[in-house]
Every structure is written in structure tokens, then in C-alpha cells.
Amino acid sequence: MKISVVTAVMNGAHTLPAMLTSLDRQTYTDIEHLVQDGGSTDTTLNILNARAAGRSLVVSGRDAGIYDAINQGIARATGDVIGLLHADDQLADPAVLVDVAAALADPAVDGVYGDLQYVAADNPARVLRHWVAGPYAQDRLKWGWMPPHPTLYLRREVFENLGAYDPIYRISGDYEAMLRYLSADVRLAYLPRVMVQMRVGGASNRSVKQMIRKSREDYRAIRHHRIGGAGTLIAKNLRKLPQFLRHP
């Protein structure tokens, strides 16, 4: 089973080395790493080009936003399973992809997800938020439940049959895609372990303006897929509160 890991990056030189190290340390060996660079002007490409030949398949050029870049990476992927790993994220330990492959050895499973930690931008050892996702059940969607997207790995057939990310959504394209997949009865397995550590300060939480825009896009996706309404959006945001109190 080949696992394709897609990275969309734009000027990620500050955090890229830690992400690449976490990927290099994986004990699972059949990994394809596809990097879609948006035309970085810092040393991102120097860092990527300094890696051993063939370890990352890099394409650099203009794109129409992060979801367009991700879609380009997915289109290049040749793996049986596809997941995302952004420049400011890192795999939590060397066995993450081993566990992903083990879960997807079951042909009845279409995808796998786990738990996520948000860590301080200047100190990844400091956990700010601990997201325990819990098992999946479709009726939980209307109560605001959603698996942590950075931990999600899906069989390539899911993208082929149901489409990739909708670039009309500038921030919530991942949420819309997950609603689309789960509404179509994509079968997910839950790994009760931290899979990814994500630095705070991403596109969805870097400012109040961005958080408001995300909420509007979330609501649009909720209504589009007939999951619920304003109550679903409120419940989705309230679910975050215990994550700040929970200790890893």
C-alpha cells in the first residue's frame, strides 16, 4: 500500500524542516511525498531541493489558493491512500503512517483519522489544545462533530468518485469536503492516538476576520449538504472549548 502525502506550501521555510523531519522519521517506507509550492519567495525551495533526490516531488508555480494547490497535488498522486501534511504541521511520532496502513488493510474501511494537538507556533512542545475526536457516527454531524482534517487519510477512490476540494471555499474547503464524503457514507476508522501536531496561526485562526469568514463558509457548507443549520454551526464551535482544558 503506497501512501501519498500532499503538502501545499507558500513561504514555509520557518516550519518546513520540522515537518520534513517528522516525515523522514516514519517507519513506514512506501511513502510518496508531493509538494505543491505556490511560488515561494523565501528559502522554501532551497530547503526542498537540498533533500535527497526523489524524496519529495516538487512542483512550483502559481495557483488559485490553497485548495487549488492541494487538488493539483492530489492529481499528481499515485498512491493507494492520500493524506495531507502542511508545512506548519508535523506527524506526532514515527509510527503514524504504520498505523494508517494497518487500519486501511481492512477493505471495508475507506479512510482513517485520529486525534490532533494544536501547539504553540514558537514552541511545538507546548500543547495549547488537545482534540480527541472519538469514534465516527453519521448522526453526530448535525451536532457539529467532525474529524480533525489534518489527520484524515482516504483511499484515492474517494477523491475519484466524490471529487477533491472545492476552491470556491477559501478557508472551509476541508470542512465542505468532509461533509460531502461523510454524507455519501464514506466509512472511517478511528485511531485513538495523536496523529498530527499543528502549529497555531493557520489560515482559519490567524485573525478575527478570518474566523468570521470561516464561520460563514462553514454555515454555507452545512446548509448545502443539508446537515443542519445555525444550531449545527454553534455546536461545532462549542465543541472546541473542552479541547483547551483537556491535557494530553
pLDDT of the chain, 248 residues: tens digit per residue: 999 999 999 999 999 999 999 999 999 999 999 999 999 999 999 999 888 767 899 999 999 999 999 999 999 999 999 999 999 999 999 999 999 999 999 999 999 999 999 999 988 889 999 999 999 988 899 999 999 999 999 999 999 999 999 999 999 999 999 999 999 999 999 999 999 999 987 555 556 788 899 999 999 999 999 999 999 999 999 999 888 886 65
Helices (H), 10-79: 16-24, 44-49, 66-76
Per the structure, the complete domain to which residue 210 belongs is given by 3-245
Mean pLDDT of the chain: 93
CATH number (domain holding residue 24): 3.90.550.10
Residue 193 to residues 47, 115, 119, Cα–Cα distance (Å): 30, 6, 16
- What is d(CA 189, CA 181) in angstroms, rounded to the nearest whole number? 14
pTM metric for this prediction: 0.93
9-23 per-position pLDDT tens digit: 999 999 999 999 999
Dihedral sign for Cα 21, 103, 83, 232, please. Answer: negative
What is the pLDDT at residue 204?
53
What is the Cα Rg of the chain in Å?
A: 17
3-state secondary structure 183-206: HCCCCEEEEEEEEEEEECCCCCCC
Look at residue 190 in the predicted model and tell me its pLDDT. Answer: 98
**What's the total number of domains in the chain?**
1
Amino acid 205: pLDDT:
53
**Strand, helix or coil at 155?**
strand
